[in-house]
Amino acid sequence: MKKKVILGFEETASKKRYRAGDEYESKDAKRIKELTDLGLLEGAADDGDDGIGKEGTPNKPE
């Protein structure tokens, strides 16, 4: 999953720096959500493609 960086930050695990306008890519949907909730990445925190709902429960088809 790729998201645009809107506020610069340094990734804690890799020590890689991201600047506003960069593209952040990760397969870890929870990390993407965490960074989006912190206002560091652009877009909706839960875009539904990780199978986890907003309350942390699995999405179930209706």
pLDDT digits (tens, 9 = 90+) for 14-60: 899 999 999 999 999 999 999 999 999 998 644 444 545 555 555 55
57 phi/psi in degrees, rounded to 5: -100, 150
pLDDT of residue 43: 81
Residue 29, in any domain of the structure: yes
CA torsion 57→59→61→62, rounded to 10°?
A: 50
Q: How far apart are CA 43 and CA 6, in angstroms?
A: 10
pLDDT of residue 60: 54
Residue 25, in any domain of the structure: yes
| Residue 57 or residue 12, greater confidence | 12
Q: Could you list the residue range(s) of the whole structural domain that residue 33 is in? A: 2-37
Q: Residue 57 carries which side chain, given as an amino acid letter?
A: T
Residue 51, in any domain of the structure: no
Residue 21, in any domain of the structure: yes
Residue 9, in any domain of the structure: yes
Torsion sign across C-alpha atoms 35, 37, 41, 44: positive
Q: How far apart are CA 40 and CA 24, in angstroms?
A: 10
The count of domains in the chain is: 1
